[in-house]
Amino acid sequence: SDLAAMDRVLCDCRACPRLVAWREEVGRVKRKAFAEQTYWSRPIPGFGPADARLLIVGLAPAAHGGNRTGRMFTGDRSGDILVEALHALGLANQPTSVSATDGLELLGVRFTAPVHCAPPDNKPTPEERDTCRPWLVRELELMRPSVRAMVVLGAFGWQALFPAIAAAGSWTVPKPRPVFGHGVRVELASADGGAPLAIRGCYHVSQQNTFTGRLTPAMLRDVIGAAAAEAGL
Ligand code: SF4
């Protein structure tokens, strides 16, 4: 598909000097538990079918998760919690996300992020977010025929998404822009005669939120389940 072709080109992107340096350094230094592994240390493209009806938007790859395994939400606790929820809802073929070759298939769902390279402290700069935006805009354009709903994990992804949607041009972005909150739902009217889009906010699946109970597995399932139902999954 055109989206698969875009994903391949994305893997060669070196547009952000700080992130290129960081993603490679993390792969050289490694974490003890993964000392025998070769880290991916490149941009991590979205994961899931090109005709997905539900898009889950994160923040950026994790240094020892996606940056190590080469697949988004794979190889760390955040990925486990997210994929466990998807499996419980019938949206993934297995409950774990361990490596790029573990056989995981998302059913009608795709993962993406507004920043495709692992940032120091999980904090991309506004400039890095803006530099990576054209990839998200293109992904939204290519997914236009199928996508009906989105779940956005955290305020960073939420704030990055609306300018990309506005640039993609298929839906009308409300002014002022909606404010992020867990469980917030916004419906965007079509701007091109196609279907509208339902966007839901959800606390990010980071350990900071899941260890403290700010985001429980039930809360995550509720938001994703509601979005999936609305997307016709
Ligand atoms: Fe390229 Fe995005 Fe990675 Fe920057 S964050 S180097 S724009 S893929």
Pocket test for ligand 1, best of 115, 123, 129, 130 (most atoms within 8 A of CB): 115
- Vertex 55, ends 70 and 137: CA angle to 5°? 80
Tens digits of per-residue pLDDT, 211-233?
Answer: 999 999 999 999 999 999 999 99
Ligand 1 lined by 125 (C-beta under 6 Å): no
Query: Tell me, what's the pLDDT at 13?
Result: 98
Q: How far apart are CA 171 and CA 191, in angstroms?
A: 5
User: pLDDT grade, residue 1 (50/70/90)?
Assistant: confident
Query: Tell me, what's the pLDDT at 54?
Result: 98
User: pLDDT grade, residue 56 (50/70/90)?
Assistant: very high
Tens digits of per-residue pLDDT, 130-182?
Answer: 999 999 999 999 999 999 999 999 999 999 999 999 999 999 999 999 999 99
Q: How far apart are CA 138 and CA 174, in angstroms?
A: 21
Query: SS3 of 183, please?
Result: coil
Protein residue with its CA nearest to atom 3 in ligand 1 = 117
Q: Where are the domains of the chain?
A: 2-230
User: pLDDT grade, residue 184 (50/70/90)?
Assistant: very high
Q: How far apart are CA 161 and CA 166, in angstroms?
A: 9
Query: Tell me, what's the pLDDT at 199?
Result: 98
How far, in Å, is the centroid of ligand 1 from the Cα of 14? 6
How far, in Å, is the centroid of ligand 1 from the Cα of 115? 6
User: pLDDT grade, residue 7 (50/70/90)?
Assistant: very high
Q: How far apart are CA 29 and CA 22, in angstroms?
A: 10
Residue 9: which H helix or E strand, with range? helix 2-10
- b/e code 3-27 from CB counts within 10 Å (16+ = b): beebbeebeebeebeebbebbeebb
Query: Tell me, what's the pLDDT at 175?
Result: 93
Q: How far apart are CA 19 and CA 122, in angstroms?
A: 11
For the purposes of burial, counting CB atoms within 10 Å of the CB of 72, is it exposed (0-12), middle (13-18) or buried (19 or more)? Answer: buried
Whether 161 and 146 have beta carbons less than 8 Å apart is answered as no
User: pLDDT grade, residue 193 (50/70/90)?
Assistant: very high
Tens digits of per-residue pLDDT, 87-145?
Answer: 999 999 999 999 999 999 999 999 999 999 999 999 999 999 999 999 999 999 999 99
Cα radius of gyration (the chain): 16
2-230 maps to CATH 3.40.470.10: yes
Q: 47 forms bridges with which residues in the sheet? A: 111
How far, in Å, is the centroid of ligand 1 from the Cα of 89? 32
How far, in Å, is the centroid of ligand 1 from the Cα of 2? 19
